[in-house]
Amino acid sequence: MMFQGEEVKKDFPILNQVVNDEPLIYLDSAATSQKPTAVLTAIETYYKTSNANVHRGVHTLAERATSQYEAARETVRAFIHAKESAEVLFTRGATTSLNWVAKSYGEANVHEGDEIVISYMEHHSNIVPWQQLAKKKKATLKYIELTKDGQLDLTSAKEQITTKTKIVALTHVSNVLGSVNPIAELTQLAHSVGAVIVVDGAQAVPHMTVNVVELGVDFYAFSGHKMLGPTGIGVLYGKRALLEAMEPVEYGGEMIDFVYDQDSTWTELPWKFEAGTPNIAGAIGLAAAIDYLNQLGMKNVHAHETELVTYLLPKLRAIPGLVVYGPTDDSIRTGVVTFNVDDLHPHDLATALDMQGIAVRAGHHCTQPLMRQLGASSTARASVYVYTTKADCDSLVEAILATKEFFNYGLN
C-alpha cells in the first residue's frame, strides 16, 4: 500500500520547524537525507545501553555491541541481496568505498596501456580516483558520451569499452539528471571484454530495489546518510573472489591475523578491510534506516517519488525561462530535478528560496565535467524523498515564481 508523505513527515523531528519565519520545506535529500525518530532512537539506545568496542572483548557490553554491529551487516546484505555478509564492507561512505577499489583492486590490476572507462555524468568521487589511478599506472581514462536528453549513450559505451578496458566505473543513478543507467546490460558489456564493473549506487539504493546479484556487478558503493541513516557510514559490496584477492587499504588493529616482527598476515573477510575501531553506532543507525525503508517498502518509495516528479516537472516546465535538465520522459526519472531560471544565478535563486523556507542545492553538484556537457557552470537542484509532499512541490513552484517576480521588478 502506498504511503502518504504527510504521515511519513511526522516521523522526522527536524522537519517540524520554522526557517526564516516560514515552515521548513526540505528539498535537498540528494545531498543528504533527514533522519526518522527510529534511527535517532537506535543510535541513542546503543550509546546508552551497549557502547563498547567490537570483536575484542568477552564482557557483556562488548558481546552486545559486536552482535548489533554484525546484525547490521546482515541487514545491509539482505537489503542489497548479496550472497553473504562477508561481501559487505563498512566504510565511511561511497567516496571511501570507490577509493578503496581504485587503490586496492585498481593498482594491482591496471597497467600501462590499459583503459578505465567512466561517463560524463559521474560524481567527482567516481572520477578523481580513476584519474589518479590512470596517471599513476600510465593508463587511459575514457568517457562514455550522453544522449541529448541526459541518458547514457549505449552506442558510445560499446565504442569506449574495448579489450583494453580493465575497469568500467559508472553511476547507477545520476545525482544531477535523475537518469537511471541500465547497469545489468552494462555489466554484461564490461564482462564480455574481461573488465570488472564498479557501480556508484549512492543515488540508487535509497530510492529503488537494488539486487547486486541480479545486476551481476563486481563492486557496488553507497552511503548511509542519503538513505535516512547517519553520516560517516557507507558500504562497499564486492564479490568474494575479488575481495579475497585484494590487499587492504588501511592497516592496524582488528584487520590482522598475526603480526610478526617484520611482516603480518590478514584476517578473513570482511574484517581484513576494516582496520581500527569501526563506526559501530553508524552501522546500527544504518540498519535502523533500512528497517524503516523496508516498512515503507522500496517499491512504494520508488512509486512515491515517481508520482511527485511527474506532478512537479510539468509545473516547472510551465514557468517561462526555466530549463529542466535530464530525461524528457518523467516516468523514468528518480526524484532529482535540476534546473536553471533565465539569467538568475542558481546561488541567488537558492538564497531566495531559503528566505521562503525552502532548502534546495545550488552549484556544480560535484559534477564539473557534466556541467561542461550541459553548457552550465552551475544549476539549482530540488530532490524529493519519502517525506516530500505535493504541497511541498507546489510551494517550490510558487516560490520560484515569486523569486522571478522580485528579481524582475522588485528593485525597480
Q: How far apart are CA 360 and CA 161, in angstroms?
A: 36
187 Cβ contact partners less than 8 Å away, ≥ 6 residues apart: 197, 215, 216, 217, 218
State phi, psi for 60 to the nearest 5 degrees: -60, -45
Closest CA to 206 of 329, 367, 355, 29: 29
Q: How far apart are CA 5 and CA 3, in angstroms?
A: 7
Helical pair 390-405 and 298-317, crossing angle rounded to 10 deg:
30
Type of residue found at 64: R
In DSSP notation, 72-127 reads HHHHHHHHHT-S-GGGEEEESSHHHHHHHIIIIIIHHH--TT-EEEEETT--GGGT
The residues assigned a catalytic role are 366
Q: How far apart are CA 11 and CA 32, in angstroms?
A: 17
- For the chain, the straight-line distance linking the first and the last C-alpha, in angstroms and rounded, comes to 51
Peptide bond into 270 cis (omega under 30): yes
Under 8 Å between Cβ of 229 and 32: no
